[in-house]
Structure 1
Amino acid sequence: MTGTLPGIAALRARTEAALGETARAWLDKATTEASADDAGPERAYAAWELRFAEAGRRCGAEHADSARIVLLHAARADTATLTRLYEQGAAAERRAVLAALPHLVTGPEALPLVEDALRTNDTRLVAAAVGPYAAEHLTAHHWRHAVLKCLFTGVPVSAVADLAERARGDAELARMLGDYANERTAAGRPVPDDLHRVLALTPLVVPLPPKAEES
């Protein structure tokens, strides 16, 4: 996988260290249940999937994402399961599925989930969608539009995994950034600083409108 991913064991250790005793016991029971589950394709859902949904209430919003990633890994969730959980889940559950993709899916078959998230205006979903899985599997065309989506929605480009590597020498990305900057300026709107940061990574010279002077 591209990008730097924390190992699941390390992620679980950090999560458990941050949880209270009751939440740690819940996570241990949930992951044990997920690891032992032998649900076949004829089952509509596995019992552990109920734990996935309740992780926010059990572990708190701050630790729910990591708890859900640990749970998905313990269950060895396949693409069909991940897709079902994503489609049926609330935004917080969808974020966890997106964050778990590089740990669980080796090929591009889960890209429809990334593409769906990038069609939303939920900034936390967009940020989750441009992680290591997208860096490895999005085509150049779709990856460029993902970067522009971050600029449109105000998601910091620091969320884009492998940004420097993929932006290097990308003339088409540089052109798109220049066009976007010119559109913003023509509309009397400021050009995001992140746009200049990405353009500097290309590194290609593209004429940009001058920055507006601050009053």
Structure 2
Amino acid sequence: MLTGRGIPAALHGELAALLDPPARQWLDRALAEAARAAEHADREEPGRAPDVLPPAWELHFAAAGRHCRSARRPGGDPADAARVLLLRAARADAATAARLYEHGTADERRAVLLALPHLDVGDAAVPLVEDALRTNDTRLVAAAVGPYAAARLDAHTWRHAVLKCLFTGVPVAAVAALAERARGDAELARMLGHYAAERTAAGRPVPDDLHRVLDLAATPHPQEG
């Protein structure tokens, strides 16, 4: 239902179709509260002290797994979709995304990462991606290498993100804009060649995905050919 590469325009309808009536009512209520929170933030006076309690939509964000349990289907977690919709409806800023990520479960962190391309956070959420790439949680790593990483990570960090996928067994198909960023990258080719040599010397197989990325890295851009 939901991947790191993008969010269908009809995501709300697709999710609602999977939910039972009580869960659909919860989703509509949660999204309405998130939208109200966004409107309230727009009207808030500059310099006003922040509220002590989190807004109601953030509580719904945490509870999404429980409410979406009836919609479990192969190919994706509907709670991811619900949480991304909530973040979008609330127009969550970088500080909110960071707070939910830092204090969230692994599932909640993954949803924050999936939502990043659809939030107005600029480069401020790059540390969240970098944190996810330091873990060995393959679902976090896969979410971290989506479109936000493709657009925002510098070359050095992005190359190590690709290697992280190879180290942890995350398919490189999860890496957004892989062909565009890897093509003609001589440094990436060098790093991949070194990794392949290490595995071969240790008697370990070289992943097919490594050859795929190495072929891209060794292929010059059309203007360079």
Contact conserved, 1:34 with 1:48, CA < 8 A, in 2? yes
Matched AA of 1:111: V
Matched AA of 1:195: L
Matched AA of 1:196: H
Matched, 1:43 2:58: no
Contact conserved, 2:93 with 2:121, CA < 8 A, in 1? no
Distance in 1 separating the partners of 2:128 and 2:5: 21
Match of 1:59 in 2: 68
How far residue 203 of structure 1 moved from its aligned partner, in angstroms, is 2.9
Matched AA of 1:27: L
Contact conserved, 2:5 with 2:146, CA < 8 A, in 1? no
Distance in 2 separating the partners of 1:79 and 1:201: 33
Match of 1:212 in 2: none
Matched, 1:200 2:215: yes
How far residue 19 of structure 1 moved from its aligned partner, in angstroms, is 1.4
Distance in 2 separating the partners of 1:105 and 1:176: 33
Matched, 1:174 2:174: no
TM-score (normalizing by structure 1)? 0.89
Stretches of structure 1 lacking an aligned partner (at least 5 in a row): 206-215
Distance in 1 separating the partners of 2:162 and 2:209: 10
Match of 1:114 in 2: 129
User: How big is each residue's C-alpha offset from its partner over 1:156-203, in whole Å with a ceiling of 9 and x where there is no partner?
Assistant: 000000000000100000000000000111111111110001111123
Residues paired across the two proteins, number: 202
Give the SS at the match of 1:43: coil
Distance in 1 separating the partners of 2:120 and 2:182: 24
Match of 2:223 in 1: none
Q: After the TM superposition, which residues 133-172 of structure 1 pair with which residues of structure 2 at under 5 Å, given as runs?
A: 133-172=148-187
Distance in 2 separating the partners of 1:47 and 1:23: 16
Stretches of structure 2 lacking an aligned partner (at least 5 in a row): 221-225
Identity %: 68
Contact conserved, 1:171 with 1:204, CA < 8 A, in 2? no
| Off by >4 Å, runs of 4+ in structure 1 | none
Distance in 2 separating the partners of 1:91 and 1:115: 15
